[in-house]
Amino acid sequence: MTGKFPVYIQDCALHCAMGKQHADIHQCLNGTMSSNMVNDETILNTASSTIVGRVKDELPSIPQHLIQFDSRNNQLALSAMVQIEDSVNQAITRFGASRVAVIIGTSTSGIATGEDAYQQRIENGAFPTHFHYSKQELGNCSDFIARYFNLTGPCYSVSTACSSSGRVFISAKRLLQAGLVDAVIVGGVDSISRLTLNGFNGLEALSNSLCKPFDAHRSGINIGESAALMLLSTQPAEIALLGAGDSSDAHHISAPHPEGVGAEQAMQKALQDAGLSASDIGYVNAHGTATQLNDSMESKAIARLFGNDTPVGSTKPLTGHTLGAASATEAAIAWHILKYKLQLPQQHCQQKADDIEVALVESEMSLNNKAILSNSFAFGGNNISLIFGYAHD
């Protein structure tokens, strides 16, 4: 890939714990409104509670002709799809249905619907009439989006845990660069499920309070749900994907490399792909999960590249860690900051930990027309860094 190849963001949609209306998202980002990070005492199999980032708005119903795709995950996707529907239809009219691709990142897909169905089978001896295991398949959401828009171009899902919806941007750029398509719907969709929450609880990674990335008293992650979609193409637009980098250090099945070797490599590759230097980045949106190991290693990696000159922050206290949707969710946040020239997001770090070596975002900081680098790091060392900024020749 080369950063000289233009990939422009034609439209963007987001629905998460901050809401879906632009005004609500902006107020959550600046701290004048609380996002829907709520205590859940029922979802864990142990006698404990955790904070989750839930979408509180009523979700749209799946159209009857696509009822086989009915799941909360696809309803969440639909709530984002309708936000960019006009732009997608314009792309179809311009390029044709075979020239628009769909690439979606996810980790849970419709597994929550499967959990409900199995519970009903336990209680009543039979699955719900309309349940089918295909709703749990990782490709179900991308298939739903393609069917909804009657698209016939390439269509698939990516599942690399918490970097899933970051890798879709790399895949989209390659499809566009190869001339296989003219536009790509990219993004991530993940809904809350008991399987995920109890899995992370088994790893002792969950916090029972609002997560505090980079804080001396950080105690783990909050899980959230989100749908974030973008329409990408080579047609000029105000905001662009300037660069993307990935790595796979494979240090450990779940723990990151303690020195952030793979994280640093991904960021370096993204800068190289964009043709930018560290001084061109005005904000690093960190993976920032608020676990001891992640925050420590990410801080080291960022410090080696950016020193103390670039403000660093995490938006996961506002959304929860949305897993397979995390990269796209934070890409959408970057788009909002750039599009509306917002101040950098509020932070929930009250006392920076001694092992954190970077400068954190302070109140009323601005981007100053620079670019945003956004990190997502996943189990197995599957690392993605994306750079978003104002389009340039």
Only one residue has tokens 């899980």, namely: 223
CATH 3.40.47.10 for domain 8-390, yes or no, is yes
Predicted TM-score (pTM) of this structure? 0.96
Q: Which amino acid is at 210?
A: L
Cβ contacts of residue 106 below 8 Å, gap of 6+? 73, 138, 141, 157, 158, 159, 164, 165, 188, 189, 190, 324, 325
CB 10 within 8 A of CB 232: yes
Q: Where are the domains of the chain?
A: 8-390
pLDDT above 60: residue 1: no
Least confident of 142-146, 173-177, 214-218, 253-257: 253-257
Q: How far apart are the first and last CA of the chain?
A: 17
- Which pLDDT tens digit goes with each residue over 90-119? 999 999 999 999 999 999 888 888 888 888
What residues are labeled active site? 162, 287, 321
Long-range contacts of 30-37 (CB under 8 A, 24+ apart): 30/342, 30/343, 30/345, 30/346, 31/346, 35/318, 35/319, 37/210, 37/222, 37/224, 37/317, 37/318, 37/320
Least confident of 82-86, 161-165, 226-230: 161-165
d(CA 311, CA 206): 26
What are the residues facing 291 on neighbouring strands?
A: none
CA distances (Å), origin 376, targets 1, 31, 101, 121, 294 = 19, 23, 23, 37, 11
d(CA 339, CA 369): 11
